[in-house]
Structure 1
Amino acid sequence: MAKDRLQLTWYNKDKALIPTQTGRYGYTWVAPSDPRSCETHTLVFDDYAHGKQSPKVDKLNYSDRADLEPQNDNLLILGESGDVLETLTRVPELADKYTGKVKLIYIDPPFNTAQTFTSYEDNLEHSIWLTMMRDRLVHMRKLLARDGSIWVHLDYAENHRMRLLLDEVFGSSNFVAEFVWQKADSPRSDVKRVSIDQDVILCYAGGESTQFKRMERSASDNARFKNPDGDSRGIWFSDNRTAPHSTDSRGIQVSSVYGIIHPITGERLYPARGRQWAFKRSRILSALSQYTEFAEVHPDLNERSSETGIPVDRLREDVGDLAPVDMAKAEREARARLDRGDWPEFFVTETSFGRKSYPPEEGQPARSWWSNKQVGHNRSAKSEIKALFPGVTPFSTPKPERLLERILYIGSEPGDIVLDVFAGSGTTAAVAQKMGRRWVTCELIETTFNDFTRPRLEKVVHDQDAGGITFDRERVVKPSALVPDKFEAEDLQEATDLLNAIVKNFPVDEDVAGAIAKVKKVLATGPSKTRNWRGGGGFQVAHLSPACFDYDPELDRVLLTPDATGQVLVESVAANLGFRLLNAEDGYVFDARKGNSFLKVIEGAATTEIVDWLVPQLRPGETIVLAATSVMDGVREYLRKAVRGSRVVSLPDDIFRYSSEGV
């Protein structure tokens, strides 16, 4: 991060954090070089959860998404998010797979100042929160692909500070938008001042190459588009026929300011003051020539000045006006062309001109306001969790699957990697699996992991989750319904609900009831039976390895932990030194390799006899790193002489040489 950038400053920004209790939120500051903060853990792979895709049945419709190949290359980790990110970015086998290759990151941090940090003073609450997020965002920046995006879900408590922090880590030029989600479906009566209806989702791009998918157009989006002339290209609307006027470097009018004589009324029409024609002259002339023959005529500069507001001395006499060649037959020919239909893009009306604009073929850009009708709300999200875990309400503000569906649709494609390091109930991973994305997610709290995250994702791959986006829950218009432009199925359903309420709550006579029944038939909608997910795929379950290095404040030195033994110690040393593990079953004497350097980890003393055993295993140009829990006198020099460039690493001092004095 550049030092000359505008940055957010907070208490202890130069420090790191370590948990005060394993598996819980609560932190204390330490120096960044403290091994409790910077030790790289490895992953311990547990079992693998796998499901089969259900066959199709005739009574249901299926979307294209239901035919996607279910993803198997997914990872569910039990562990603290900071440690997990350190593992993904520093363990060579994992870094190769994930660094710079994650297409979309979504995080919904499950902590805030009002709940998690109640034991701290106010200035420390925000400082701890910012330090936590800063350390994690720095790792996420390494994982994010250059054409990827990160989406950070927040409420009002930390949104403004997070925006500055994201500017600092990802660069202000990569800010995309602040999306607003209407999370509430009704006001809360238990608040003192204002019932907050929305959350915000801050979105940053990984780089200039990041592109987002456009949204499919809805009926209301297309409401302003018509096709009154039978245009062969389809629906259109009459857009602004002019654009803002800009003079040349000398302040002289550009060639797009001139008059056009209307072929029906004979009136000379100009762009409005401060405007110019939106199309090039040749394009307009080509369109007008479909109505009658046009030609360039000498301009009346005084009239042009009066109509456009441009001083005469800044007008161009060489830019003529356009006029019909034969006004006597222009009106007749123009009306005939109007009656024929399928007008050109710059078209003639009875008294003026128009300009056609068509809906973009690729859809429309995502908008930053997401209503709960579009993507669900907290209440619908709770219903999704209750359907999976009846009788239990473990999460106060879960996120609906449709919300994550929109984010993943905009920012990723099937097969892309999606990351969420605050899994909670597992919504992000569940939606990613249903949308054919690969995913990595982790959860800190073991009870949440075992009781909700893992069981939910198992239900997804076993096709036991019929909620969320598994089915298209949108209502569809029945064939008997009449739907005016700009209205959609949900509008018809609201009207039907209103009519039902009238019949239920007010006495109506038989004639009125009959009329209401007829109207309801006209407004008829029904649930879609389209299925988007049929189960299948799987995920690897893993947990973080135990710590092998610890700092003892009383001794003021780094010690090996009781877990630092056997293969755990080997893998830890390899990860912290950046070595890639070798397979002992393939006959390797050494434990790991980095380039031409081979690592051997010894529990006990490094001796000259061990050096003599290892040296013959090398080929020319290769070196040894011998890591041992103790080192006999003279062994370091002995190894350096035996194999130039080799070295001995004493555990733990030569990996983490840390003390309170900073030695």
Structure 2
Amino acid sequence: MTKQKLELTWIGKEKTPKLEPRILLEDLQKSYHAKERRSENDIYNNVLVHGDNLLALRALESDYAGKIKCVFIDPPYNTGSAFKHYNDGLEHSIWLGLLRDRLEIIKRLLATDGSLWITIDDNEAHYLKVMCDEIFGRPNYKTTITWQKKYSPSNNNKGLASICDFILVYSKSEKFQNNLLPLTEKAKKRYTNSDNDSRGPWISVGYSNQKTPEQRPNLCYDILNPNTGDHIKNLYKAWKYAPETHQKHVAENKIWWGKEGKNDTPRLKLFLAEGHGMTPHNWWPHADVGHTDEAKKEMISLYGADDVFDTPKPERLLKRILEIATNPGDLVLDSFGGSGTTGAVAHKMGRRWIMVELGEHCHTHIVPRLQKVINGSDQGGISKAIDWHGGGGFRYFNLAPSMLEKDKWGTWIISKKYNAAMLAEALCKIMGFKYTPSEEHYWMHGQSSESDFIYVTTKTLDDAHLAAISEEVGEKRSLLICCCAFRLETGKFP
């Protein structure tokens, strides 16, 4: 019997594009930095790429594979009614293929402890979930967050009105650990001090695990209630903590046995002064993270009333995601840059960021927005909440054209748009070398290790050239030469 598996399939699924790893060309006229350093935490090496996001992701792979802590993408929803800046309403199979090709590269870009967050509506959410299970593995599915994008349903809708979108969350591996959220004022009021503990207000949390004793035998042991002398067994569930951790809790007087001291199971005291956060959940009401009307008002303040995306995301929504998934200095990627919300929020929160956008709104929306963030004039969104006053900068890159083009006879040749430096960098990327041109050795354009190098030239090399290079490279180093042609005596170089 043929081995079968459960999978989502669509027309053209077996067709995967062969992508040339392009180089990125910085446009110094569009790169932008603050005139002065505002703090020691200013970040200047953020990256904005203008170009096709599939080719851009491939271009980023050689430098950023395994380094991205958080990817947030807000792809076209394939509804036929999305904003004018994108070609939404793609045929279903094309849409699935478009996302699959990009998600496979995104997975390679993610750090082992990284995570992916995708916003989607209920039109494609279930198909996307199955596809992401296949790419990332079902064990790495974390949750589906329900975001209340509207505070009231539209009266123009004759059917069942949609007031929510969804955020699928996946990790690269089991090493992902989310952060706790800061305590709200409402949450702080839950802390009391019924036993007049000198450490101040506290709450208690359960001591039992969701795993059974059979699943976690190392977390099954007797716990002594010092008030009654009873040895407590947890017959149906394991404890949350290892024996040595429990003894630490006992020594720190953090075990709570109830008001009378006779509860059947212990609880752990968490003190407000210790700064414990809140565990994130998957229901995000608009009161906590904003709604689309809030986002549109943010856009109007930035661009004017006549040029607003139909489905922008509020800055508070991105702030919540980055609070959970990242720490200051971590690297964030958004390959569907849109209006630039991800980069703006990441910048204000002290995260490094990379954004990719193909459309002209890269120049009409993203660049002006980021300039306002950097010079401190953007005081909308989360700016006041985090006391943002500007700083940092970003580098603007264009995606280079293909290295190859056809001449008038239909023969593939090196593109005339490539100069020597571009060609050397492109060959380094294609051959798996890091482009690090040496000022000392003309033949050292890149390297893949401490002793492995590459030399790129359009010249024809003869015996004399090769002999001179060989002598300079030496026996303990290796050199890959990419040249137009070479002439040498047979057997001279074994």
Q: Would the TM-score normalized by the shorter structure come out above 0.5?
A: yes
Corresponding position of 1:346: 257
- How far did residue 429 of structure 1 move? 0.7
Distance 1:119 1:466, change over 3 A: closer
Counterpart amino acid of residue 59 in structure 2: T
The alpha-carbon deviation at position 148 of structure 1 amounts to: 1.4
In 2: Cα distance, 1:202 partner to 1:165 partner? 11
Instruction: Give the match for residue 549 of structure 1.
Output: 404
Offset at residue 577 of structure 1 (A)? 2.0
2:363 to 450, 454, 458: 450
User: What does residue 523 of structure 1 align with?
Assistant: none
| Cα contact 1:73–1:538 (8 A) shared by 2 | yes
2-structure distance, mates of 1:246, 1:210: 24
- What are the equivalent positions in structure 2 for 1:14-413 lying under 5 Å apart? 14-16=14-16, 32=17, 37-47=18-28, 48-52=31-35, 69-90=41-62, 95=63, 98-110=64-76, 112-114=78-80, 125-222=91-188, 225-235=191-201, 282-283=224-225, 286-288=226-228, 345-347=256-258, 358-359=269-270, 361=274, 362-413=276-327
TM-score, length of structure 1 as denominator length: 0.61
Whether contact under 8 Å (1:402, 1:469) holds in the other structure is yes
What is aligned with 2:242?
Answer: none
| CA distances 1:590-620 after superposition (whole Å, capped 9, x unpaired) | 54444534322317x6666765675555423
Tell whether 2:298 aligns with 1:414: no
Per the alignment, in what secondary structure is the counterpart of residue 127 of structure 1? helix
Cα RMSD of the aligned pairs, angstroms, is 3.7
Deviation, 1:382, is 0.9
Cα drift, residue 146 of structure 1: 0.9
Shift of 1:349: 5.5
What is the distance in 2 between the residues matched to 1:543 and 1:279?
61
- Residue 217 of structure 1 and its aligned partner are, at CA, apart by 2.6
Q: 1:242 and 1:614 mapped to 2: Cα distance?
A: 69
SS in structure 1 of the partner of residue 483 of structure 2: strand
**Normalised by the size of structure 2, how large is the TM-score?**
0.80
Instruction: Choose 221-230 or 99-108, whichever is displaced more.
Output: 221-230
Deviation at 1:376, TM superposition (A): 0.7
Alignment check: 8 A CA contact 2:78 2:89 kept: no
In the alignment, structure 1 residue 537 sits paired with structure 2 residue 392: yes
Unaligned runs of 5+ in 1: 17-31, 56-66, 249-277, 289-293, 297-341, 473-530, 645-663
1:560: Cα distance to partner?
4.2
Query: Which stretch has the larger CA shift, 566-575 or 154-163?
Result: 566-575
Count of residue pairs the alignment pairs up: 453
Aligned partner letter, 1:465: D
Corresponding residue of 2:375: 462
Other-structure match for 2:243: none
Q: Identity over the aligned pairs, expressed in percent?
A: 32
Change (3 A) 1:232 1:597: closer
Residue 563 (1) aligns with residue 476 (2): no
Match of 1:651 in 2: none
Counterpart position of 2:10: 10
The alpha-carbon distance between structure 1 residues 73 and 194, as it changes in their structure 2 partners (threshold 3 A), is same
User: Which structure has the bigger radius of gyration?
Assistant: 1
Distance 1:245 1:353 in 2: 19
SS at match of 2:338: coil
Match of 2:493 in 1: 643
Change (3 A) 1:128 1:392: same
Q: Does the 8 Å contact 1:593/1:599 carry over to 2?
A: no
CA contact (8 A) 2:204 2:270 kept: no
**5 Å matches for 1:499-510?**
none
1:583 aligns with 2:437: yes
- Where does the alignment leave 5 or more consecutive residues of structure 2 unmatched? 215-219, 232-252
Distance apart, 1:394 and its partner CA = 2.9
> Displacement, 1:434?
0.6
> Judging changes above 3 Å, is the alpha-carbon distance between structure 1 residues 295 and 109 closer, same or farther for their aligned structure 2 residues?
closer
Give distance in 2, aligned partners of 1:244 and 1:386: 48
Do 1:39 and 1:549's aligned partners in 2 also have CA atoms closer than 8 Å? no
Question: For the residues of structure 2 that align with 1:281 and 1:40, how far apart are their CA atoms?
Answer: 59
Shift of 1:354: 9.6
Q: Residues of 2 paired with 1:363 and 1:532: CA distance?
A: 21
Matched letter for residue 563 of structure 1: K
Instruction: Describe the SS at the equivalent of 2:187.
Output: coil
Q: In the alignment, residue 421 of structure 2 is paired with which amino acid?
A: Q
Match of 1:543, SS state, is strand
Cα distance change, pair 197–43 in 1 and its aligned pair in 2 (3 A): same
Q: Which residue of 2 aligns with 1:493?
A: none
Q: In 2 relative to 1, CA 209–295 (structure 1 residues): closer, same or farther, beyond 3 Å?
A: closer
